[in-house]
Amino acid sequence: MELLCIRQWISGLLPTWLSAWCIKPVGGALVRQEPEYILLALMGSPLKKIMLCSSEKEIFSVEEQVMVQHSVIINNMIEDGSYNHEESKIPLDCVDSKTLKKVIDYCTHHTHHHNDNQEDLEAWDAQFLNVDSNGLYDLLMAANYLEIRNLLDLIYGTIKNMIKGKKIDEIRRIFNIKDHGFTPEEEEQNRKEYPHFY
Amino acid sequence: MGDALGSDLISDLPQSIVESILVRLPIRDAVKTSILSSKWRYKWASITQLVFDEKCVDSCSDRDVVEKSVVKFITRLLFLHQGPIHKFQITISYLQSCPEIDQWILFLSRNDIKELVLELGEGEFFRIPSCLFNCKKLSRLELFRCELDPPLSFKGFLCLRSLNLHQVLISPDAIEGLISNCPLLESLSLSYFDSLALSIRAPNLKYLYLEGEFRDICLDDTPLLVEISVAMYMTDDIAEHFEQSASCNFLKFLGGVPNLERLVGHIYFTKYLSIGNDPGCLPIIYKNLEIIELNQVSFEDMKEILVVLRLITSSPNLKELQISGSSNIPSATDAPDLDFWEKECSSKCRLSHLRVVQLTDMCGVPHEMELIKFLLASSPVLETMSIIPCVYVVESQLKMLTELVKFRRASAKAEIVFVRE
């Protein structure tokens, strides 16, 4: 099943002139060789993929190497053998499809681009985290559940910057705190005692 | 990032995540969250790492006012804090020794403190209260400008891995006792001690950093040492003590460290190692020693040169060598004993992994040139040799260059870089 997916994917990539090229001699006659196999032979062995299943029961196929490098939970599952490549998928009931796709995006980008220079990676990360607060919350919960250390650190850093050096009123706006929950007397007392924080 | 339709999700994050965020904030910003909303009132109070620096309170021109304000801030914070405190660090130059600090340490000793760093101001040394010695879980201790006096009944910090004492008043017996009673000690740093004679017994020690006036250092039981860095200062009575010493300092110091990977020496370290009887051919091979850096080596002292040579020839896997001369303008002395080089350096000696050599403050004295000649002839994979002549000897630079060019090179790839100002 896995190989079929890969073959279809590769066929879609090949330009027609290459498909026409793929001929090899077999028993004295020239036989057309399946182009996908040639490309695979050129590339090396097929990339092992694993299946992740979101809370909405949508299945995402992703390179095993990518997820194993980033997620401690998935790495442990594969190492202790509880994941069977042929049949099973990893159910992630607390992560919805939109968030799971983003998480996979992050891990894939960082695996394939880990040799890029620091500035480019940081710019990509900044763009990646340009989401609304709901999205940020979902990403944080997913990264926490899957134990993806560098994504967690990135999100912690972002939230930290929402607090550091900012006035209370501004933080309340950023966090959407509409009701601070203090009594009017408490709030007034705080403002009197720490005017420079507001 | 704030949107009108969104709800406040961040305030409902699990406490463990909130703490991970708050711990990344400067302490002042973390505590400030207590007035953000009623939900946030005590979220900061259970963070396990408290780091106080110059910026934790508003600055102002009056030093006394700032000092009082910082003391009040820390005391109040500890009073409101809940739960264990694993790391407590103060690095504040305007905070002098005061009674409140004793209370803070008492509080910490009751709250599972693991890492304690105290760097106070330049005034009177703070006398560490005895409750520190009850901190059973202490794994890292760093003290600057304190007085430390362990009680007689003190059995050691059983979890201590890292100890850094900088300008600390403590008796030599107490230091030796402290070191040998901390069985897990991996990293030891002692700086600015006066006339200390020290015998170090630390079977798990990996990193050793010493700086100060040491009369005598003996590494008695440190088989796992991987990195040593020593800066040794000299006073007149230490110099006199050296004259009279007969024991072999080299073996006392480097005789029991077979796993050494990196050795760095400054100021009088090479001189220190040269004191005492010549160990002859060393009984020990440093098979992991890859980096040697020896500074302020006097190339007019045969014994120091011998120390350098013995080290180099006992390190078959040496990769990087840095030597700096003692930048004394060479006096016109009697002819140096150049036969010594033929005797000590067999032509069979090969430094088969040496790739990088840097020689600084070279004056062009004969022994320096002989060392360069020896290194070039014995290093088949040498890639770079940088020579930086001493700034005072402009005339001899040409002479040095002329001699250099004649030396035979074992490595065809070797590039000699002669750096002139």
Enter the ipTM. Answer: 0.72
The least confident of A7-11, B254-258, B393-397 is A7-11
Structure tokens at B48: 């396990």
What element of type H or E holds B221?
strand B207-221
Domain residue spans of chain B: 351-420
A to B CB pairs, distance under 8 Å? 81
CA distance A97 to A58: 7
Chain B's closest residue to A193, CA to CA, is B35
Residue A26 has pLDDT above 70, yes or no: no
* Per-residue pLDDT tens digits for B250-288: 988 999 999 999 999 999 899 999 888 776 777 789 999
Structure tokens at B370: 């002989």
DSSP string, B368-407: HHHHHHHHHHH-TT--EEEEEE-TT-STHHHHHHHHHHHS
CA distance B36 to A187: 10
* Per-residue pLDDT tens digits for A149-180: 999 999 999 999 989 999 999 999 888 888 88
**The predicted structure's pLDDT at residue B234:** 84
Residue A83 has pLDDT above 80, yes or no: no
- Say yes or no: A152 contacts chain B, CB-CB below 8 A: yes
What element of type H or E holds B180?
helix B172-180
Tell me whether residues B36 and A177 touch, CB distance under 8 A.
yes
Measured between beta carbons, the chain B residues lying within 8 angstroms of A160 are 21, 24-25
CA distance B242 to B303: 13
- Say yes or no: A177 contacts chain B, CB-CB below 8 A: yes
Residue A33 has pLDDT above 60, yes or no: no
Question: Model confidence at A114, in pLDDT bands (50, 70, 90)?
Answer: confident
CA distance A189 to B318: 67
> Under 8 Å CB-to-CB from A1, ≥6 apart: which residues?
A86
Angle between helices B302-313 and B366-378 (to 10 degrees): 10
Secondary-structure percent of chain B, ordered helix, strand, coil, rounded to 5: 30, 25, 45
**Which chain B residues in 54-113 lie under 8 Å from chain A, judged by CB atoms?**
58
Chain A's closest residue to B38, CA to CA, is A181
Contact between B389 and B363 under an 8 Å Cβ cutoff? The reply is yes
Task: Give the count of beta carbons closer than 10 Å to the beta carbon of residue B364.
Answer: 22
- Say yes or no: A197 contacts chain B, CB-CB below 8 A: yes
DSSP string, A120-148: HHHHHHHHHT---HHHHHHHHHHHHHHTB
Distance of CA A49 to the CA centre of its chain: 15
Contact between A176 and A184 under an 8 Å Cβ cutoff? The reply is no
Q: What is the mean pLDDT of chain B?
A: 89
Q: Which residues pair with B146 in a beta bridge?
A: B126
CA distance B44 to B34: 7
- Bigger pLDDT: B275 vs B137: B137
Q: Is B408 left (phi over 0), alpha (psi -120 to 50) or beta?
A: beta
SS3 B283: coil
Tell me whether residues A168 and B3 touch, CB distance under 8 A.
no
CA distance B375 to B408: 10
Distance of CA B305 to the CA centre of its chain: 24
SS3 B78: helix
